[in-house]
Chain A
Amino acid sequence: MDVFTDPDNIETYTTGFLWILKLTVAAAIGSGVLGVLLAGMRVSPVPVLRAFGTGWVNVFRNTPLTLIIFFCYFGLYSALGLELADDIDLNNFWLGVVGLSVYTAAFVCEAIRSGINTVPVGQAEAARAIGMSFLQTLRLIVLPQAGRAVIAPLGSILIALCKNSTIVGTIGLMESSTAMKDLINANGDAVIPIFLVFAGTFAVVLIPTGYFFGWLSNRLAVKR
Chain B
Amino acid sequence: MSTTDSVLYDHPGPRAKARNAVLTVVFGIGLVLLLWWIYRQFDENGIWDGPLWEPFTESETWTAYVLPGLWSTVKAAAVAMVLSLVFGVVFAVGRLSDHRWLSIPSGIVVEFFRAVPLLLMIFFIFFGIPFLTEQPMPPFWAVVIGLTLYNGSVLAEAFRAGIKAVPRGQSEAAYAIGMRKNQVMREILVPQAARAMLPVIVSQLVVLVKDTALGYIIGYTELIQNGVNTLGANFGNVVPAAIVAAIIYIVLNASLTFFAGFLERRTRRTGRAPRIKASPGTPVPAGAGAVVEPQG
User: Taking the nearest CB of chain A, how far is it from the CB of B267, in angstroms?
Assistant: 18
The DSSP consensus for interface residues of chain B is helix
Interface residues of B in 171-223 (CB under 8 A from A): 206, 209-214, 216-217
A18 interfacial contact with B, CB 8 Å: no
Known: A124-B8, A177-B123, A191-B128. A74 touches B238 (CB 8 A): yes
Decide: B9 and A121 in contact? CB cutoff 8 A.
Answer: no
How many interface residues does chain A have, given as a range? 35 or more
Decide: B280 and A221 in contact? CB cutoff 8 A.
Answer: yes
Complex contacts, A211 vs chain B, CB 8 Å: 281
* Complex alpha-carbon distance, A215 and B239, angstroms: 44
Decide: A153 and B292 in contact? CB cutoff 8 A.
Answer: yes
Known: A153-B286, A184-B127. A160 touches B213 (CB 8 A): no
B293 interfacial contact with A, CB 8 Å: yes
B59 interfacial contact with A, CB 8 Å: no
Known: A49-B27, A62-B254, A177-B117. A160 touches B290 (CB 8 A): no
Complex contacts, A180 vs chain B, CB 8 Å: 120, 123-124
The DSSP consensus for interface residues of chain A is helix
Decide: A80 and B41 in contact? CB cutoff 8 A.
Answer: yes
Decide: A66 and B224 in contact? CB cutoff 8 A.
Answer: yes
Stretch from A6-14, A84-92, A198-206 at the B interface: A198-206
Q: Mark B245-256, 1 if CB is under 8 A from A, else 0.
A: 110011011100
How many interface residues does chain B have, given as a range? 35 or more
Decide: A198 and B283 in contact? CB cutoff 8 A.
Answer: no
Interface residues of B in 102-151 (CB under 8 A from A): 111-112, 114-121, 123-124, 127-129, 131-132
Complex contacts, B23 vs chain A, CB 8 Å: 45-46, 49
Decide: A184 and B131 in contact? CB cutoff 8 A.
Answer: yes
The 8 Å CB contact of A104, one of B9, B45, B119, B294, is B294
Nearest-neighbor residue (CB-CB) of A170 within chain B: B217
| With A52-B31, A185-B127 already in contact, 13 other A-B pairs whose C-beta atoms are closer than 8 Å | A42-B4, A45-B9, A47-B24, A65-B294, A66-B216, A79-B47, A121-B3, A157-B292, A167-B119, A170-B216, A176-B117, A194-B128, A199-B124
